[in-house]
Amino acid sequence: MSHFRLHDGVLHAEAVALNTIAAAVGTPAYVYSAAALRDAARAFRAGLAAVPRKHLAFAVKANPNLAVLRLLADEGYGADIVSGGEMLHALAAGMPASGIVFSGVGKSGRELAAALDAGIGQFNLELEEEGVVLAALAATRGVRAPAVLRINPDIDAQTHAKISTGRRENKFGVAVADAAGIYARLAALDGLDLRGIAIHIGSQIADLAPLEQAYERVGRLIAELRAAGHAISHVDLGGGLGVSYRAGEIFPTPAAYGAMVARVTRDWDATLMFEPGRFIAGAGGVLLTEVLWVKPGVPRPYVIVDAAMNDLARPALYDAFHEFAAVRPSGARICANIAGPVCESGDTFAMARDIDEVAAGDLAVFLTAGAYGATMASTYNCRALVAEVLVDGDRFAVVADRILPEAMMTAQHVPHWLQHHHALEAA
C-alpha cells in the first residue's frame, strides 16, 4: 500500500498534507515516508525468512540521509558502503561497525585504513592488489581483515547499461576464471581473513533469471574453493531487486526473490549477505515541486517546475521514468512536457506525458524518488542543494537543510593575487 495518497482531494505523505510541508519547508524538497521505508525493510526481510543465517546491509548510496539510516538501523539493517564518507554516515546514524560491508571498485589506502580502524565488518575485494594492500594495512595493526572476493559472473542483468555491473566488460569484480587462483593467493596472507565471495550484477533488475544464473555460478565456485581446502562462511549476494516506477509494471516480489535464493543456496551452509538499496528506499520518497509556469510549446505545452535535473538526475542520466502527480488534482488531464529551470534541454523530466492538469503555483510530485534521488543532487546552475523531509505518522521534520548558494560560497575563495580593485569598480 502506498503511503502517498489523496485525502480530501489533497496528496498526503501518511497523515501530513504535502502543501503543509511545502509551506513550511519550501520547494523543491524530497519527502520520505517512515512507514513506507519500514514496510519495505520488513517485506525484504520477510521474503528471506527461509534463509537461516543472513545479514541485511542497506546500500547507503541509495539514500545516505542520517534519519533514513537511523530508521533502518532500528529495523536491524547494517550498511553497504562504497566510500569513507558513506562509512561516516552509517556510523553517525548508529549502525554498528561490525554490520558494515565495504564495497567499491576504488577504495583508497586511506579509506581502507580508516575502515580497519573503525572495525568495519567486511571488505568486499574487487581485485587482487586491493587484497594485498588491505592485508598489509591490517598486519601493521595486528588484525586480520574480514574479506570476501567479488567476482564478475559475466551475466547480463538486462537493465540500463549505466547500472549494469556484472558483465565481463564492466569494471567490477574479478573474472570467474581467475577467481580460484586469486582466492588462493589472498587466502595465504596473514592480514586477511578471507571468508567467501561477493557478487552484484546490476540495479533495477526486473527478472529473477539473471540473478539466479549468477548465484548458481557462485555456487559452483564455492564448491570448487571448498574442494581446494578453503573455508567459505560468507556469501554476499548484492542488491539489485527492482521496483515499479509506472503503474501496472510487475516486478519480482521479495517473496519470489527469497524463494529463488533459498532454492539456489539450499546446500551452501554459509551466512548470506544482501545489499538492497532501491527496493528499500525507492517507493519511500517523492520529490515535491511547484509549477512555475505552463509555457505554450510546439506541439504541446511545457510544464516548468522548480525542481530540475540537479535535484533529480535520473531522467536526464538514464531516461528514467518518474510518475508526476498534482498535489490537488482537479481530475482534468493534459498532455505536456515537464521540464526544470536548468539551462539544458536534457533538463526534461518527461515528454508528451499524460498528466494531471496543473497551473502556475500548483504543487506536484515526482513519485518513487526515495532512492538515488537526493543523494545524486548537485548545485549545478548555482541552485540550492535540495532539502529533505521525513514524515512519520502525523509528524514531520526537516532531515536535510536546503543548502543555499550563500552557504556554498563560503567554501569558495578568490586567491589574493586576483583580489585587485578594478573588476569590482567596473561592476
The CB-of-109 to ligand LLP minimum distance in angstroms stands at: 20
Exactly one of 200, 234, 322, 383 binds ligand LLP (CB under 6 A); that residue is 200
How many residues contact ligand LLP, by CB under 6 A? 22
User: Judged by CB under 6 A, does residue 78 bind ligand LLP?
Assistant: no
Nearer to ligand LLP (CB atom), residue 62 or residue 197: 62
Q: Candidates 5-13, 69-77, 274-282, 396-404: pick the segment binding ligand LLP (CB under 6 A).
A: 274-282
User: Judged by CB under 6 A, does residue 203 bind ligand LLP?
Assistant: yes
User: Judged by CB under 6 A, does residue 314 bind ligand LLP?
Assistant: yes
The CB-of-409 to ligand LLP minimum distance in angstroms stands at: 28
Catalytic residue among 247, 343, 426, 427: 343
For the question of residue 343 being annotated catalytic, the response is: yes
Enumerate residues 6+ apart whose C-beta is below 8 A from 252.
206, 207, 208, 241, 242
Are 149 and 179 in contact by the 8 Å Cβ rule? The answer is: yes
The CB-of-308 to ligand LLP minimum distance in angstroms stands at: 16
The mark string for 284-313 relative to ligand LLP (x by CB under 6 A, - otherwise) is ------------------------------
- Considering only residues 240 to 259 of the shown chain, the ones binding ligand LLP according to CB under 6 A are 240-241
User: Judged by CB under 6 A, does residue 374 bind ligand LLP?
Assistant: no
The mark string for 397-416 relative to ligand LLP (x by CB under 6 A, - otherwise) is --------------------
Q: Candidates 58-66, 132-140, 247-255, 334-342: pick the segment binding ligand LLP (CB under 6 A).
A: 58-66
Nearer to ligand LLP (CB atom), residue 116 or residue 198: 198
Nearer to ligand LLP (CB atom), residue 204 or residue 289: 204
Nearer to ligand LLP (CB atom), residue 124 or residue 396: 124
The CB-of-30 to ligand LLP minimum distance in angstroms stands at: 14
Nearer to ligand LLP (CB atom), residue 80 or residue 362: 80
User: Judged by CB under 6 A, does residue 275 bind ligand LLP?
Assistant: yes
Known catalytic residues? 343
Q: What residue ranges bind ligand LLP (CB under 6 A)? A: 59, 61-62, 80, 103, 163, 165, 200, 203-204, 238-241, 275-279, 314, 318, 372
